[in-house]
Copies of this chain bind each other. A is one copy, B any other.
């Protein structure tokens, strides 16, 4: 690290910020001063500042200077997908039904459908070891007549991940997680008793190359197998980057 000039600058400033010698809102030395202090050219100093900026440590105000960011400490990240986001391994799944149907008002709204449009609804049950039912997944997607979607639905049950990864740069996903009371249908499938709580995870998938929501999934999980491990990430209240 000591070899590369701009990295020396980066770790020096980072250390000052982490130790609290430079506090959120404080102004850094000017680029000219940093050039002297580190015997560096301007572009080298700027490369270091750029790194600090992209890592969320500092931001810059043209004409004024570079400042220490005011980060938020309540943003967390976690990994979730249906197959290894739970605290039990999913060994297999069983397709319960695939139908073409009229959407209810809620689903219709979410998928941005016109009146008369149909959807494909696909229900699957996920099982852990020894055939323990873990979760029920209901997938809703717009039905486009003429397109052989059914096959795709059945396929992506297995192969969704590589497909999603290929389109990752245009995909947006949102999750909403709530704890609700079960209904009878889910109760039966998951072998839960009436009145038991259940974790309901609603997932919407959008594709910026196509308008509207591409897919809506309601994922009902036995709370026993639900867990989230999340870690804080640094994010800033002030927008501003140096490049």
State the A residues within 8 Å of B (CB). 6, 17-20, 23-24, 43, 47, 50-51, 54, 57, 70-81, 85, 161, 164-179, 196-197, 199, 208-209, 223-224, 226-234, 243
Contact = CB atoms under 8 A, between A and B. Distances in A.
A143 to B, nearest CB: 24
A54 B238 CA distance: 18
B199 A179 contact: yes
Nearest to A43: B43
A71 B176 contact: no
B243 A73 contact: no
A228 B74 CA distance: 13
B209 A19 contact: yes
Contact of A79 (B74, B196, B234): B74
Pick the 4 closest A-B CB pairs, nearest first.
Answer: A179-B223, A197-B197, A173-B232, A54-B54
Contacts of A79: 72, 74-76
Contact of A169 (B71, B174, B233): B71
Nearest to A163: B73
26 contacts: A18-B209, A24-B165, A50-B50, A70-B165, A72-B79, A72-B165, A73-B81, A73-B161, A73-B168, A74-B79, A74-B80, A74-B81, A75-B77, A76-B80, A78-B78, A80-B230, A171-B232, A173-B232, A174-B232, A175-B230, A175-B231, A176-B227, A177-B229, A179-B197, A179-B199, A228-B228
